[in-house]
Structure formats: C-alpha cells, structure tokens
Amino acid sequence: MAFKKLYQPYNKNGLTLKNRFLMAPMTRSRSSQPGDIPNELMAEYYGQRASAGIIISEATQVSLQGKGYAKTPGIYTQEQIEGWKLITDEVHKKGSKIFLQLWHVGRVSSSKVNGLQPIAPSKKAAKDTNVYIFNGAPNGDATFVPVEEPRAMTKADINQVIEEFKTGAKNAIKAGFDGVEIHGANGYLIDQFLRSNSNQRTDEYGGTKENRVRLLTEITQAVAQEIGNEKTGVRLSPFISFKDMNDPEILDTIMIATQKLEKIGVTYLHLCEADWDDAPKIPNDFRQNLRKIFSKTIIATGNKTPEQGEDLLKNELVDLIGFGRNFLTNPDYPIRVKLNAPLNKITDTHTLFGGGDARGYTDYPFLKQVND
C-alpha cells in the first residue's frame, strides 16, 4: 500500500491513534456570540474530519485578554466548556482523538477585538500585523485592523497568564478533550517571550536565551502538573518569522526550550513549519538534533504532501504529520489519499475566517457525494 507509514496506527505515549494523519489547528471563527461559545455547527465540522488519527482544535483563548481575533472560541467559562463537550463527544463517537490548543495572543490584538489594551513581554508593537473583527462588511468578510501598542507585562500579569493556561487545561479535560497543546508558536505571547526582538526585558524573563524560555517552561510545568504530562503537548515555530518575529537566536533558543520540555516530559512537540511556496526548507540536521534531544512524539505540520510526510516518517524524523488546508476542504482526506482520489479545492475565500452558516465550513462534500 502506498504511504504505508501514514496509515499505521500509532501509540502516542499511551493514546492509541488509528493512523498518523493529524488535522492541524485552523482558525475558523464560528463560535456563538456573545461569549465565544463553541456550538453544534462546530461539532459537525470536527466530527466530519474524524478520519484523522488525532485532531488539534483551532486556537482557543485562555482568557478575554488572550483573545486576538473576533469569534474565536474560549475555554475560560462554563458555557464554553459545555459547548466544547459537543465537539469532543462527536469526535470520539467517530473514532478519533482530539487535543485543545491553548492560546494567548499577547501583542497580536486590538481593543477593537476585546475591549482591552494588548499585553506583551515589552512595550513594542508588531509591525505590519493585523487582526480581524466583523463589522458588517460585504459577504460577511472579516475587516482587518492594525494591532495596537501593548502594555509591558508585570510579574503579576505573568503569574495571571500562567494561572489562565493552567485553568484552561483543567477546563479542557472537563470538556472531554484527550489533552491540550500549548501554543508557543506563530508570533503569539509565548513566542514573543522566546524571541530577542520582541522580548526586551531585563528581568528573569528576558535578556538571555535561558531567561526567554522561562515563561514557556513555567506554563508547561503548571499545565502538566494540573492534567498530567502525558496529556500536555507544545507547539513551536522555529523557522517562522511573520508578525515581526525575525530573531537570529531563535534556533538556539528552541533547542534550549526543547531540553526543558524533555525534562518536564511533555507528550509531544509540534513543529509549525512555514507553508508558503518559497518557504525555507528545514534542514535535516535540525530535525536530527531535535530527535536526539526529545524522546517523545514529534509532529511536523506545514503544507506537507503525503509523499513528504511518508518520507519524514520512514526516516524516523517525526512521528505524526499535520495537514491543514486539505482537511479543511476534504473531511475524508485520508481516504482520498489512499484512493488517489481528486481533492476538493477552497470554493470561497470569504468563508475561511468566519461565517454564519455551513457555507465553506461543513458543506465540502465527501468522496461518495462527489461520486454520486
């Protein structure tokens, strides 16, 4: 069979997955308002895509302060917990596993989104970076607005954020998730602390590379102690520099962070890799060094083809392959790959980030519907 490794079951540190396809986290902005509450439409969407061995949910804010984009879901109220139960029940019923991605955007926000001034490691706004709101634009489109200058976080702010991630993890387990993924990638709060250009602090959370990994380490320790290290994963993005995040020291910092995560014993490390056409290719020696340091599951996501994914699995550089856009448009993506069947394409870019109904969300056809 083609792609033999991709279709092999996998034991992820005690959690049995039916294959090595991972549905990557994708922001879709469909939560019910007010309250950023997950709903039945979202449950249908995730349930449709349960052919993946494991699903990582869309980024989910741990507090109102951590929210950066309109209509994204939260995990800090009882109503949100009850809403997420609809999703986890549906995914489990369809035979897959699901982790919740815990998110705080830090400086990538605007008071137009949440009514609050953003917070960040330092009082430095991200250049050329926007977030979105919905204000009645044509076709229901999102309206992009510039991020605002953040307030530099105090030690009390840092302690509050650590507590929010811990509470978010506890709430996720209450909602039926198999675990959580701490979002330390893509220019959001934890990534802002990791990078020297966005973190200009001179206290124990800034200055040296060892200090810049402190927030990630403390959040991860708090989450792992709350729900167990076997239910705690972390996402990092060493080769992505958008949202004004270019840092020449980031690869060394990521390796230090990986050593800390290995000691904590997190269940996986999820690499979010650049996914545009001329993106930098991750060198094999980086992957090999990471494998030497980190003993648990390694995930690679970033516009991979099945061929690329199979090759990484065969060479034992990673253990699971994340697919995003292809799961968005093809709820039965693993079946289509197995049969070498045609793939659905994105039909309407207006519905990628938001929408009030099934259009561009749950109406992408399954293969049997196409054949019919």
CA separation (Å) from 192 to 8, 72, 76, 158? 37, 20, 22, 13
d(CA 348, CA 8): 34
> What are the two backbone dihedrals, phi and then psi, of residue 156, each rounded to the nearest 5 degrees?
-65, -40
3-state SS assignment for residue 97: strand
d(CA 217, CA 212): 10
Task: Give, to the nearest 10 degrees, the angle between helix 155-174 and helix 78-93.
Answer: 40
Beta bridge partners of 118: none
Provide the pairing of β-strand 143-146 with 97-103: unpaired
Catalytically annotated residue among 69, 132, 188, 364 = 188
3-state SS assignment for residue 233: strand
C-alpha of 127 from chain center: 22
Closest CA to 197 of 126, 289, 103: 126
Concerning whether 188 is annotated as a catalytic residue, the answer is yes
3-state SS assignment for residue 10: strand
3-state SS assignment for residue 132: strand
Closest CA to 82 of 40, 119, 26: 40
d(CA 135, CA 339): 43
The two tokens of residue 63 are 């507090």
Active-site residues, by number, are 188
